[in-house]
Copies of this chain bind each other. A is one copy, B any other.
């Protein structure tokens, strides 16, 4: 473990706690809001809720691991010898990133067969992207980091291709606000997922012996995770809500006017 200052320790500590709170709050929001959308879109909200609770659990673990790796005595900080376990983040991504693309497919409301095929290919690409990134993340050598990082980019480019080219027509066929929201969700994937490779490259760009590299890496990943999971989940909820309001039978039930039957 590199040497860090008390200030740096506290910054990372607080960011981890903040991230846990964001994920947990979004989980409760999504569970409570499921009944606001038509049943056919609830699967998308269930997946969004799973993503943020799984991420919340892992941030809790990361937080505990960070707190256990250092000991503070007044203004001095030293390492305890317990390693700071970063692997949680990759375990989290292996579970949640495939679900993130599945959410988007689910909220589109495609025919079952088409949706199944898309979910499988996008989900598999997402999992591959995470798995290929890991050997580079734990490597000390810059070359190894760059090689695995590049390999990991291949499935990422494939996902972007599907979202912007193959799914382009489906998204353009939507009407009004739904179309705008779906395009925003797609852009959010591009922007937040594109942020991870930048954070991944920080140890290559910044001097590797510096404690600020660790801090930049942890804070960067935490912000990216909040946007890509909690922010994205709320966007998916808005899409599901708008699409529900376009359904005549759902409007007849009048979710705004009468309580949802038996929910």
Contacting pair A22 B95 (CB below 8 A): yes
Interface of A is mostly: helix
**Chain A 20-36 near chain B by CB (<8 Å), digits 1 or 0:** 11101100110111111
The count of chain A contact residues (Cβ–Cβ below 8 Å) is: 59
Contacting pair A88 B17 (CB below 8 A): yes
Task: Give which listed residue, B14, B29, B43, B259, contacts A39 with CB less than 8 A.
Answer: B259
Answer whether residue A5 sits at the interface, using C-beta atoms and an 8 A cutoff: no
Answer whether residue A54 sits at the interface, using C-beta atoms and an 8 A cutoff: yes
Contacting pair B83 A72 (CB below 8 A): yes
Q: A249-B257, A253-B259 are in contact. Are A32 and B46 (CB under 8 A)?
A: yes
Contacting pair A74 B81 (CB below 8 A): yes
A212→B121 CA distance, assembly (Å): 35
* Distance (whole angstroms) from the CB of A62 to the closest CB of chain B: 11
Contacting pair B42 A36 (CB below 8 A): yes
Answer whether residue A262 sits at the interface, using C-beta atoms and an 8 A cutoff: yes
Contacting residues, chain B, for A95 (C-beta < 8 A): 18, 21-22, 25
CB-contacts of A63-109 with B (<8 A): 72-74, 81-83, 85, 87-88, 91-92, 94-95
| Cβ contacts A to B, 9 pairs, < 8 Å | A17-B58, A21-B57, A25-B54, A31-B32, A32-B46, A39-B257, A249-B254, A249-B258, A260-B263
Other 4 A-B pairs with CB < 8 A, given A21-B54, A32-B46, A263-B263? A10-B87, A18-B95, A261-B262, A261-B263
Q: Which A residues form the contact surface with B (CB < 8 A)?
A: 6, 10, 13-14, 17-18, 20-22, 24-25, 28-29, 31-36, 38-40, 42-43, 46, 49-50, 53-54, 57-58, 61, 72-74, 81-83, 85, 87-88, 91-92, 94-95, 247, 249-250, 253-263
